[in-house]
Structure 1
Amino acid sequence: MQPDWALLLLVANVSTLTVCMVLKLPQIITVIAAKNARGLSVRSLLLELTGFLVFLTYQTYYEYPLITYLEYPVLIVQDAILLMCVLFYNGNIGTALPYTVLFILCWRLITIHRLIIDLAMNLSTFISALSKFAQLQSLWKTCDSGQVSALTWGFAIYTICARIFTTLMTTQDTAVLFRYAVIGVLNTWVFATIIYYRKAGKRKD
């Protein structure tokens, strides 16, 4: 790899990790400050967490370079915190324990055999896509972006673009690239929807 490309790859990896360390913070802060989770979909968060866990397991199983997926443990922790906040403000915090047990059992199951983890990886793309659609449905239903953070979704678009580049430069895994491409398109759709309803709300005011 030429020095210029190596530097660009390093910048993409480091910037992705840096952005992901604060990716969900704007959303978490917004929910806590407003003391409500209007516009946020619990189903979307659960599906996203599932996709993150499967993807992290897939990357570690095949021993891909740590720098190419180091942000996922950080994202999982942030998503879990955000989910707790949403459940709390929705009055459903009692469901947190069953969700936790289910996640642990499913995570252990997919590590049993290579065929299972490969299948889970392919399904995780579908699951992650469903998580974005669930958030879109929540926005369409309320016609209000509520407490949904446009900044968080903007960060997500950047990290996906950076990860497409780093994957092309390193593992070139087609399953991973396909997942990133699908999620990138849907993240952009969610972001555009948030902006649309935010402007629509301002026009009403």
Structure 2
Amino acid sequence: MEADTVLHVANLTTLLACMVLKFPQIFILMRAKSARGVSLHSLLLELLGYVVFVTYQMYYDYPAPTYLEYPILIAQDAVLMLLILHYNNHLWQSALYTMVFVVGWRLLTVQSWVIDLAMSLCTFISAGSKFAQLQCLWRSRDSAQVSALSWAMASYTCLARIYTTMATSGDMQVMVRFIAMTLLNLWVLATVLYYRRSSSKKDD
């Protein structure tokens, strides 16, 4: 298979996976009517990381197919945030979070050094998101409301993005971010499956 074809397949499958990536998690929350085990702090940090990353890519005119999934992920995360706030009886906070994110997004492009600095911190922000979810799972010891499928798809999309970054921009800062996110996504996935298996054993 030619390199261009592989790149096209990687971009297409990543986009398709991201179009439905959060759906399993959204459906689980709606069915359970509970956000137990799902970290709001993790979601907010993830949203922040997505906003910084897509703004950086757009600011420096990166090829659209390499970041097209991020607006879709941001929209899905926004729905998830509303559901978590609703089930935790804090829906009123959604207006505050929306205002903070909109203002922050505008500030990112005031000067090039601002977006460069934000991007240099983006990996730590996104890593903090994964650790927040891990801590939430460790505390609750309950992964019933956490979608293993969503985390599996997130792991795949990060792996695919390692390849597409190597094949297009070669940006080391971006590549390091995707490598770190792949490892952390797999860690969360393994933790979700571990607690799910432990729960099944208890039921038996």
TM-score in terms of structure 1 length = 0.98
1:149 alignment counterpart: 147
Aligned with residue 51 of structure 1, among 49, 67, 86:
49
Q: Which runs of 5+ in 1 are unaligned?
A: none
Q: How much does 1:156 deviate?
A: 0.2
1:104 correspondence with 2:112: no
1:131 correspondence with 2:155: no
1:17 alignment counterpart: 15
Paired AA for residue 101 in structure 1? M
Which whole-Å CA distance do the structure 2 matches of 1:62 and 1:155 have between them?
A: 27
Q: Which runs of 5+ in 2 are unaligned?
A: none
1:39 alignment counterpart: 37
TM-score in terms of structure 2 length = 0.98
Aligned residue pair count: 203
Q: How much does 1:175 deviate?
A: 0.7
2:200 alignment counterpart: 202
Which whole-Å CA distance do the structure 2 matches of 1:76 and 1:159 have between them?
A: 15
Q: How much does 1:194 deviate?
A: 0.2
2:163 alignment counterpart: 165
Once the two structures are superposed, residues 5-28 of structure 1 have per-residue CA deviations (whole angstroms, 9 ceiling, x without a partner) of 110000000000000000000000
Percent of residue pairs identical: 54
Once the two structures are superposed, residues 106-144 of structure 1 have per-residue CA deviations (whole angstroms, 9 ceiling, x without a partner) of 111111011110000011111100000000000000111
Q: How much does 1:146 deviate?
A: 2.6
Paired AA for residue 204 in structure 1? K
Paired AA for residue 44 in structure 2? L
2:188 alignment counterpart: 190
Which whole-Å CA distance do the structure 1 matches of 2:2 and 2:145 have between them?
A: 41
